[in-house]
Every structure is written in structure tokens, then in C-alpha cells.
Amino acid sequence: MARLELKRVVKSYGIYEAVRGVDLVIADNEFVVFVGPSGCGKSTTLRMIAGLEHVSSGEIVIGDRIVNRLQPGERDIAMVFQNYALYPHMTVAENIAFCLEQQRVPKGEIGQRIRRAAETLHIEALLDRKPGQLSGGQRQRVAMGRAIVRNPKVFLFDEPLSNLDAKLRVQMRTEIKRLHQLFPTTTVYVTHDQIEAMTMADRVVVMNAGLIEQCGPPQELYHRPATRFVASFIGSPSMNILPARLEAAGDALVLVLADGSRVSVPAERRARYAPHAGREVDFGIRPEAIVVRSERAAGATIEARVDLIEPLGASTMIYFDIAGQTLCASIDPETAPSAGTLMPLAFDMQRMHLFSRDTGRSLDVE
């Protein structure tokens, strides 16, 4: 059991800063997911926590110890990688036992811990096989078994499901969550997949270019993204983002889009946005906040020529052009038109987002 703290953590490779000052406190037993595009510094951060990379500056604290100078083996962490890193010449049982033997855990206890982990992960029948005789999903379970038998203070996962097919990935996702509920342990899980992040995390940390953009519970990131980057990264399909100018029109505020069309800002948002009147902004609206007009009288209306239709079963995505840009709306399959038809749509402006063009910061959150 341990809390984990990163204080101003920096990693430079020569003059290149891969991690540019990360501050984060992870509570005891919390499940935190780092998500962000490839190359943003997720693995580097995780590897510094594990002790596999030297920290250029800053501090890493596990429990009440600064661990910067400790070897990986002294940090009381267990890590699961994308490529499993199992020893090919050892059986599953030997793979799981290996680090316990290194720690000189008594033989009887090793056997007991292996049996318990094998039961938990449903791999009892595989204990005598070699990794080469296992499927990808089974190898992944063994790698997790090897991690849980150690009872570490902190679990670290680096894209552990990336090599699995889509169905197995979803299954293992649930399984890792279940394991965490069964054996609550401080966990840092890295993925580039925002759906994995949203479904697994107590708290999601969105990284971009070596820095934390925002961290918070999944729903908060979705509904109150602090930056344009988080707004477009979280959610699938992405939030629609339209360049606009915010203008005062008497007492009201309007957004003037690239083609000159005008969209009114709801009265409740006026006070908040008024200081930004006259500025260039980015107007964000999620696909599900674009509704078929007959559903709702209020809101800015659009006549949209539907270019493309994607039926997903529970909802249907329609794509259309507005102000020189392609937008996506998520609508009820019942109301889905055929491609090429004109459709009356409306922005549900109660669910609008507004970002500063210059800084990318949301004008909706402090």
C-alpha cells in the first residue's frame, strides 16, 4: 500500500526534453491511467517510476521514500509490459516463481502464492506449459500473475493490451479492473487508447508533448475539458471544433463562423464569455450535441447536406460540411436519412464549449 508522488519530474535526452515537469499525486490504491498520443512521454514517465530510466530532475516518492536513487528491485513495484517479457525457456509456474525465488521467499509459500494467482487469473491448467505454447491472451495473464504474486506497493502497466485482438482487449480490460477491486493496489496504467483510459481509470491523466494537460475523473474530462487538446482527444468520434469570432450584438453574444453564419450564445454563458468579445475562438460541439431539429425547438439551426452515414447500431453518425469543415453528428438511427439528403439539424448550445484560439484553454473552466 502506498501513495505515489511525482514532483517536477523532468527527463531530458541531450537537449530534448521528453518529460517537461510532471507534478502528480496518486492516492493509495488509486487506479490512474496516463493517456496521450504516441511520443508524449507516457512510457518515459512510467519507466522513471519503475527505476528503468534515470530522472533528470525532480523527485519520485513511493510511500514515504524518495526513490530516485533506488534500483528497480528496491522500489517494491511490479511492471507489466506490452510484450510480456516472459522467459521462454521456463514454464509458466517457473516464470511466476522466478522473482519470488530471487527475494528468497520460502518454497512452500511460493507454491501457495502461485496457486492463488493462477486461480484468480484462471491459468491453473497452464502452469506446466512454456510461453511458446500459449496464446497472446494467456501470456498476458501469466505476465499479470507474475506481477500480482509479488504483492507490490505499486503496479505499473505499459500498454499491456496492445498486442491483443479487439475482443480479448475488452475482456482483459474488465479483468484488470476486477483484479484491482480484488487486490486494491496503487496502479499506474499507460495507454494511447482513450476508451481504455475512460473505462478503467479512477482518474485519467492526459499527457501532451511531455506535460500533463489535465487530470481528473473520466466524466469530468469528458464534460469539462480544460483545453482544446483534451476536448478533441477524449471522446469518439471527436468533438467538432469550428474556428469562430466571438462578437457582441447588443446585449447578446454571437459566434461568427468562417462562412459568416451566426450562432447565438445562450444567455447563461454571456457573462462568462463577454470579456472575450472581439476575439478569435474555437467553438466546440460534441457529435451528440448536434440534434435533429424536430427533436428540440431551441438552438442554432443548420440545413445540412448529409455526405456520409455510419450506422453503429445504437446510434448513427452522419457527416456533413459547414463553413468549409466536415462535422459529425450522432443521431438516433430511427431518424437517420440517406446520403445526399438535406437535413434540418441544430446545435444544442447548452452543451457548447469555447476555447481561446491563442492558448487553447477552455473559457468554460477556471
- Residues in contact with ligand ADP by the rule CB under 6 A: 13, 18, 36, 38-44
287 binds, among ligand ADP, Mg ion, none (CB under 5 to 8 A by kind): none
- Dihedral of alpha carbons 176, 182, 183, 184, sign: positive
Write down the least CB distance from residue 286 to Mg ion, Å. Answer: 28
Report the residue closest to Mg ion, judged by CB. Answer: 43
159 and 192 Cβ atoms separated by less than 8 Å: yes
Residue 110: helix, strand or coil by DSSP?
helix
How far are the Cα atoms of 99, 128, 276, 292, 360 from residue 270, in angstroms, in the given order? 61, 68, 10, 25, 20
By C-alpha distance, which of 190, 184, 199, 121 is closest to 162?
A: 190
Q: Where along the sequence are the contacts to Mg ion (CB under 5 A)?
A: 43
Helices of type H across 63-193: 92-102, 107-121, 136-148, 166-182
Write down the least CB distance from residue 159 to ligand ADP, Å. Answer: 8
41 binds, among Mg ion, ligand ADP, none (CB under 5 to 8 A by kind): ligand ADP
Q: Between residues 162 and 264, which has the closer beta carbon with respect to ligand ADP?
A: 162
Write down the least CB distance from residue 147 to Mg ion, Å. Answer: 18
Tracing cell 505499459 back to the chain, one arrives at 158
Distance, CA of 22 to CA of 31 (rounded, Å): 18
Write down the least CB distance from residue 52 to ligand ADP, Å. Answer: 11
Write down the least CB distance from residue 13 to ligand ADP, Å. Answer: 4
By C-alpha distance, which of 83, 89, 102, 94 is closest to 127?
A: 94
Q: Between residues 129 and 192, which has the closer beta carbon with respect to Mg ion?
A: 192
Q: Between residues 44 and 362, which has the closer beta carbon with respect to ligand ADP?
A: 44
Q: Between residues 28 and 53, which has the closer beta carbon with respect to ligand ADP?
A: 53
Q: Between residues 9 and 40, which has the closer beta carbon with respect to ligand ADP?
A: 40
39 binds, among Mg ion, ligand ADP, none (CB under 5 to 8 A by kind): ligand ADP
